[in-house]
């Protein structure tokens, strides 16, 4: 048997072009393709298998949907994971995809290299290679698109010249990545920040303009910061997220059009559809606001941001991430209760929240109750409020006159 390479294979343009490249330019006789199902459309998984068969690879398809929901999406909810307005859908899937490729590689008799289709301008090269090197540090990694500095148009021409089956064309050149937690669309005219995205790029979300004219009310139940039920019906994370994607998407919830700062410093225009992630993080934040003390919320916002930045970078096993999760997970012990939301014309608005751990007391907060809190006792506290600032202001005026 000749040299063997394990290719992290999505079935898309970049990874499909890698197959003949690995044979022609790198000398690998045995190409093993690994496609990991983290919630893509079923036809994408099927198409990837068919392309792999046409191109003569040893192909493996791994169903990791439930694991992705449980061990990646749920922690993202608990950390309110958001990077510059993006709920980290693509980012959190990459460590799992790479780890599954390693599992396949460890079952093979021989592996001379790993390969992936990431470009040199994107984030995924960091995320995938970090996990591959962490789990199998002695196996070299090849990145044909990056090493050969190929453009998307050049990839299309290369594929056409060799009869490689692809869906892209020079006219419809969208680059799409999809998993259970979200869908990203980039490339083509979308690279122009001033170009309005056409409706054709969206598949998960109805246009808010044509979404139902009647709002939809739903209630989510959380235990330990984990969504466990929808409208009182217990559900495992995978089924709940899947159902929310469909429900919220019908109401146009979860469209994101943003300028994103990539890891290497490039600003890029990105479009996302994240219906379930948008609803769940919105609800989770509302419940935390009800049960957490002010200083907890302030510190957790910092921890959440640091967690999201590590997850964005693909550093899933970083010690700092584990330390952050120790705090986050402790807080989640009290994040239990229900949150009611209204989905309407692209918005997901919290309209109710309830918890046995609520730090809210109606009698203390009410302007119509004077028995639980004697307002007259606040006079001294108000007089002392801001004393250093008042002294500073007086001194500043004195020295400037």
Nearest to 248 by CA among 216, 295, 223, 224: 216
Out of 44, 70, 112, 175, pick the active-site residue. Answer: 175
Q: Tell me the C-alpha distance between 176 and 170, whole Å.
A: 15
Is 124 designated active site?
yes
Q: Tell me the C-alpha distance between 301 and 388, whole Å.
A: 28
Task: Determine contact, residues 142/113, Cβ cutoff 8 Å.
Answer: yes
The kind and range of the H/E element at 186 are: strand 182-186
Is 295 designated active site?
no
The DSSP annotation for 206-273 comes to --TTTS-SS-EEEEEEEETTEEEEETTEE--HHHHHHHHHHHHHHTTTTEEEEEEE-TTS-EEEEEEE
Phi, psi values for residue 192, rounded to 5°: -85, 115
Out of 10, 14, 82, 285, pick the active-site residue. Answer: 14
Q: Tell me the C-alpha distance between 140 and 147, whole Å.
A: 14
Task: Determine contact, residues 304/195, Cβ cutoff 8 Å.
Answer: no
The residue with tokens 């289709």 is: 117
Is 175 designated active site?
yes
Q: Tell me the C-alpha distance between 175 and 156, whole Å.
A: 12
Out of 65, 78, 94, 183, pick the active-site residue. Answer: 94
Out of 124, 127, 177, 355, pick the active-site residue. Answer: 124
Residues acting as catalytic residues = 14, 94, 124, 175
């Amino acid at each position: 048997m000749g040299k063997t390479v394990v290719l992290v294979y999505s079935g898309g343009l970049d990874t499909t072009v890698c197959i003949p490249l690995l044979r022609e330019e790198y000398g690998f006789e045995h190409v093993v393709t690994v496609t990991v199902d983290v919630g893509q459309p079923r036809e994408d998984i099927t198409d990837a298998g068919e392309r792999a068969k046409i191109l003569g690879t040893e192909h493996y398809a791994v169903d990791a949907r439930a694991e992705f929901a449980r061990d990646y999406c749920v922690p993202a909810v608990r950390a309110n994971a958001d990077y510059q307005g993006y709920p980290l859908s693509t980012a959190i899937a990459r460590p799992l995809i790479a780890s599954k490729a390693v599992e396949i590689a460890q079952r093979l008799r021989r592996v001379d290299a790993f390969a992936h289709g990431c470009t040199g301008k994107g984030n995924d090269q960091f995320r995938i290679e970090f996990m591959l090197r962490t789990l199998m540090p002695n196996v070299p990694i090849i990145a044909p698109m990056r090493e050969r500095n190929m453009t998307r148009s050049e990839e299309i021409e290369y594929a056409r010249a060799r009869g490689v089956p692809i869906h892209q064309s020079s006219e419809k050149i969208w680059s799409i990545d999809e998993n259970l937690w979200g869908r990203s669309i980039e490339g083509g005219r979308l690279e122009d920040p001033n170009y309005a995205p056409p409706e054709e790029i969206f598949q998960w979300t109805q246009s808010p303009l044509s979404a139902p004219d009647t709002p939809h009310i739903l209630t989510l139940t959380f235990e330990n910061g984990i969504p466990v039920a929808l409208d009182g019906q217990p559900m495992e994370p995978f089924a709940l997220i899947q159902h929310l994607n469909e429900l919220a998407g019908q109401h146009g919830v979860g469209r994101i059009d943003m300028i994103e700062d990539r890891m290497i410093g490039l600003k890029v225009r990105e479009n996302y559809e994240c219906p379930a992630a948008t609803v769940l993080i919105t609800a989770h934040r509302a419940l935390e606001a009800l049960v957490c003390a002010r200083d907890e919320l302030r510190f957790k916002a910092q921890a959440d941001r640091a967690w999201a930045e590590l997850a964005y970078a693909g550093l899933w096993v970083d010690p700092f991430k584990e330390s952050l999760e120790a705090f986050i997970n402790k807080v989640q012990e009290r994040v239990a209760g229900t949150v009611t939301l209204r989905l309407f014309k692209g918005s997901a608005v919290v309209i109710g929240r309830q918890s046995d751990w609520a730090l809210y007391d109606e009698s203390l907060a009410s302007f119509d109750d004077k028995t639980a809190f004697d307002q007259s006792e606040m006079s001294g506290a108000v007089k002392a409020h801001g004393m250093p600032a008042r002294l500073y202001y007086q001194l500043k005026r004195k020295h400037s006159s």
